[in-house]
Structure 1
Amino acid sequence: MRHLHTATHPDIVHLDKVCIVQRMATRAIALQGDKILLLYTERYEDYSLPGGGLEQDEDLIKGMVRELEEETGAVNIRNIKPFGVYEEFRPWHKDDADVMHMHSYCFTCDVDSELGEPNFEEYEIKNGMQAQWVPLVDAIAHNEKTMAQSAKQGLSIQRETFLLHLIQKELLPVA
């Protein structure tokens, strides 16, 4: 799968002599015309692609489908194709490592416009997460406004906004 970008948190100045934990995640890109299926998180006031961490030894595509179904209630997931991988190095605030090295494997797919019931985890409910079909340009503008106004933005919104721009450039039909 093609490499899309590597992001390194500004607190990480070197990777030698640090303990690194590996994490694999997937992200789903489902478009219908100029709209994209995204998760809006009230707590962070941002839009993100549906997806998340893979279980140990989980197949990439099965993990993407599982996360997409859980987070959005998407049904009839089909025409899955690789889009690319986004790589990140972030501080890891647990005892077992200093840095997390995450690969987010992104796939395009088609889903039915009518969504079923999501199966959110407790923290996702507390964060006010909800699946929405959103015009892609609106999601980009919203995230950019949040990034400009938020003092606590992290790599996640930067990743998501980078990916949304790339999706707009490569996958939206030219008007």
Structure 2
Amino acid sequence: MGRLFEIDLKDYNETDDVYRRPSARAIIIQGDKIALVYSKKEKYYKFPGGGIHGDEDKKEALMREVREEVGMIVIPESIREFGSVLRRQKNDRLENSIFEQENYYYFCDVNETLVDQELDDYENEAEFVLKVVDIDTVIAANDIYKSDVYFNEIMIKRELRVLRLIKEKKYV
């Protein structure tokens, strides 16, 4: 899979340990709209997806995360690569550690039927819901997003850049 871009804050020591957390993220286009996770509490949009567990296959992780976060069932044979984004910054949870996350983005289609979300505690706290929305609305919301949690701001800046690439390439 080709690299779309990198975000490296270089706010860490090169001698710090590296904590790697790869993730798989879904780009779900529905007509002229895009299906995303919306945080009602934080007022941002993100692509459904999350961490790849152990030696879990990227596509399996993608399907699991989409089902858990937004209750959509990915059609396995519809999964197509878009590209990856590497994110590196000082870890906000582990002292003397670099947070490194390769985010693998995939286009995919989903079944019409929704299932119940299975949210983690932090996802419940952020009040994650599914929203199928116009890409310009998403870009505008994420463009003004600010948070007390700098780690979240970097995540949303990453999502914003991917959204702009999708719009630029006229996928939506």
Asked if these proteins are the same fold (TM beyond 0.5), I'd say: yes
Which residue in the other structure is 1:2 paired with?
2
Q: Distance in 2 between matches of 1:123 and 1:151?
A: 15
Q: Is the 8 A contact 1:81 1:109 kept in 2?
A: yes
User: 1:18, 1:99 within 8 Å by CA — same for their partners in 2?
Assistant: yes
Greater mean deviation of Cα atoms: 32-41 or 138-147 = 138-147
Q: Deviations over 1:2-45 (max 9, x none)?
A: 00111022633xx5322111111010000012211101112321
Where does 1:24-39 land on structure 2 (aligned, <5 Å)? Answer: 24-39=22-37
Instruction: Classify the secondary structure of the residue corresponding to 1:131.
Output: strand
> Post-superposition shift, 1:137?
1.2
Out of 92-101 and 74-83, give the one that drifted further.
92-101
CA-CA distance at 1:96 after TM superposition: 6.9
Distance 1:76 1:86 in 2: 22
Q: Distance in 2 between matches of 1:50 and 1:25?
A: 10
- Paired amino acid for 1:83: F
The list of structure 1 runs, each at least 4 consecutive aligned residues, that deviate by more than 6 angstroms after superposition, is none
Per the alignment, residue 74 of structure 1 pairs with 72
Number of the residue aligned with 1:122 = 121
Rounded to whole Å, the distance in 1 between the matches of 2:98 and 2:41 is 25
Q: Structure 2: how far apart are the matches of 1:171 and 1:110?
A: 17
**1: distance between equivalents of 2:29 and 2:8?**
29
Distance (whole Å) between structure 1 residues aligned to residue 35 and residue 134 of structure 2 = 9
Work out whether residues 33 and 172 of structure 1, in 8 Å CA contact, stay in contact via their aligned partners in 2.
Answer: no
Q: 1-side partners of 2:156 and 2:82: how far apart?
A: 19
2:93 and 2:140 map into 1 onto residues whose CA distance is 34
User: Aligned pairs, how many?
Assistant: 169
Q: Deviations over 1:131-174 (max 9, x none)?
A: 11111111111111225xx565521010110111111122425x
The answer to whether the 8 A contact 1:83-1:106 is kept is yes
